[in-house]
Amino acid sequence: MIALYHFDRSTAAQKVRLSLAEKGLAWESRYVDPGMKKRQQHDPDYLKLNPRGLVPTLVHDGRVVRESQVILEYLEDVFPTTPLRPADSYERAQMRLWTKLVDEGLHVDSRTIGQCIAMRFVMQDVDPATIKRHYEAMPDEVRRDNDLVNNEKGLNSPLLPGAVRRFKKAFTAIEDRLEDSPWLAGGMFSLADISLVVYSARMESFQLAGLLDALPRLRDWQARIKARPSWAEAVEKWGDTSSPTRQERGKEAFPRIKALWA
């Protein structure tokens, strides 16, 4: 039996749900509400499964697997039918160079961009004592320290220019790669595509799609992935990836992000 602890808009959870959908695997949903009123990711019982207090967490036949990129590889090892890794060793290595970008900083940069644009405003409507407890209970020190800077400084955060710069570098690399292949690794839809498309989609959810207009191959790649049945099952089924706050604040922030992008 497969159980997945997740929540709807989490890019890390989206990746795992995409893999499960591509493989046609049945799984049990264990929804973790990250809202400030519940903060279920900090619940003591959940922290026993995931000491970092993050989603997703996969439990397969009683065995716990954490970290989205590790979970994706685990699913490939245990359920090789409908492969999402190239068979050729060299092409598989190329795939892993792409997926490595996520843990090297792209995921952290994604949170910085989202926090600076919109999520900091959510905090303004929360009781200060609740916010204090939230961050005191957050096990991930990098996430906590970055959030505190980004919440205070917003679009003037010293972390934002580097995050935008690295996003542009990664997306430009995707654009260049797609000149020679429809997919990122080995000419097949793979974990590389799953691991990175959720971040370009996240940019859209923050009303930053205009930044991608100069990357037509990336836009086509993303559209082809969204047309796959797995996207509807793994992403759209769980609700709109945007929100009124993301839409409103994203439009306000676009000139600043565009300037940094340029």
The b-or-e profile of 40-51 (16+ CB within 10 A means b, else e) is bbbeeebeebbe
Half-sphere exposure of 48 (CA within 13 A, CB side): 3
Which pLDDT band, with edges at 50, 70 and 90, does 36 fall under? low
Q: Is it true that the peptide bond before 229 is cis, omega within 30 degrees of 0?
A: no
The model's pLDDT over 110-155, given as tens digits with 9 standing for 90+, comes to 999 999 999 888 777 788 888 888 888 888 899 999 999 999 999 9
Query: Cα angle at 27 between 73 and 184, to 5 degrees?
Result: 35
- The domain tally of the chain equals 2
Q: How far is CA 12 from CA 60, 75, 234, 236, in A?
A: 18, 15, 12, 15
Give the Cβ contact number of residue 116 at 10 Å: 27
Mean pLDDT for the chain overall: 94
Mean pLDDT of all residues in 54-71: 97
Is residue 244 scored above 90 in pLDDT? no
Mean pLDDT of all residues in 49-76: 97
Q: What is the pLDDT of residue 184?
A: 98
- Burial of 146: CB neighbours in 10 Å, binned 0-12, 13-18, 19+: buried
Domain of residue 139, CATH code: 1.20.1050.10
pTM listed for this prediction: 0.95
Q: Of 46, 78, 110, which residue sits at a domain end? A: 78
Q: Of 78, 102, 129, which residue sits at a domain end? A: 78
Same-domain pairing of 98 and 185: yes
Rounded CA-CA distance 50/29 in Å is: 16
Is residue 73 scored above 90 in pLDDT? yes
Domain of residue 64, CATH code: 3.40.30.10
Q: What is the pLDDT of residue 16?
A: 98
Task: Please report the beta strands in 61-145, taking only residues with DSSP state E, as ranges in sequence order.
Answer: 63-66
Same-domain pairing of 135 and 18: no
- Of all residues in the chain, what percent carry a pLDDT higher than 90? 82
| Residue 25 in tokens | 């695997």
Same-domain pairing of 133 and 44: no
Is residue 252 scored above 80 in pLDDT? yes
Is residue 241 scored above 90 in pLDDT? no
The model's pLDDT over 166-220, given as tens digits with 9 standing for 90+, comes to 999 999 999 999 999 999 998 999 999 999 999 999 999 999 999 999 999 999 9
Mean pLDDT of all residues in 226-253: 90
- Cβ atoms 95, 191 nearer than 8 A: yes
Same-domain pairing of 53 and 94: no
Find the domain containing 182 and state its range.
89-261
Q: Of 18, 43, 78, which residue sits at a domain end? A: 78
